[in-house]
Amino acid sequence: MTRSILTNIALYLGVLAGIAIVPARAADPKAKEGRITGTVHMMEKDKSTIVVRKGNVERQVIYNGNTKWLYGTQASSKPSSFDQLKQDWYINCQGTFEGMKLVASACRFRESK
């Protein structure tokens, strides 16, 4: 009887410890890395955003001073800047998602896909 009570107490304490650890992990989510590719639909320099369209879907890319800009293809690209980017050009940005928006760490663009 005593062994049964001690086993139950140990089991309950284990469950409580498990419940306490799970929210601690959920509070520290890792940023989801990703990529957005498509055609530049709109650029808003004052908001540091680019709207990228692929088919009928539009996605937002946020850039900042740390965003690396490249012009060309993956095999042949040169350092560039946001100022050289033009509407309707093909763009490929990678970074981390904040909700539905991609915060770009690097973007590569060219005239066409």
The DSSP bridge partners found for residue 103 are 62, 96
**What is the per-residue pLDDT across 15-28, written as a single tens digit (0 to 9) for each?**
555 565 555 545 44
pLDDT at 107: 97
**Amino acid letter, 42:** M
Given this model, what pLDDT does residue 14 score? 58
Neighbours of 102 (CB within 10 A): 25
Give residues with Cβ within 8 angstroms of 94, minimum separation 6.
33, 34, 35, 102, 104, 105, 106, 107
Q: Does domain 32-110 have CATH number 2.60.40.650?
A: no
pLDDT recorded at residue 50: 97
Per-residue confidence of the chain (113 residues) as pLDDT tens digits?
Answer: 665 666 666 566 555 555 655 555 454 467 799 999 999 999 999 999 999 999 999 999 999 999 999 999 888 889 999 999 999 999 999 999 999 999 999 999 999 87
pLDDT for the residue 15: 55
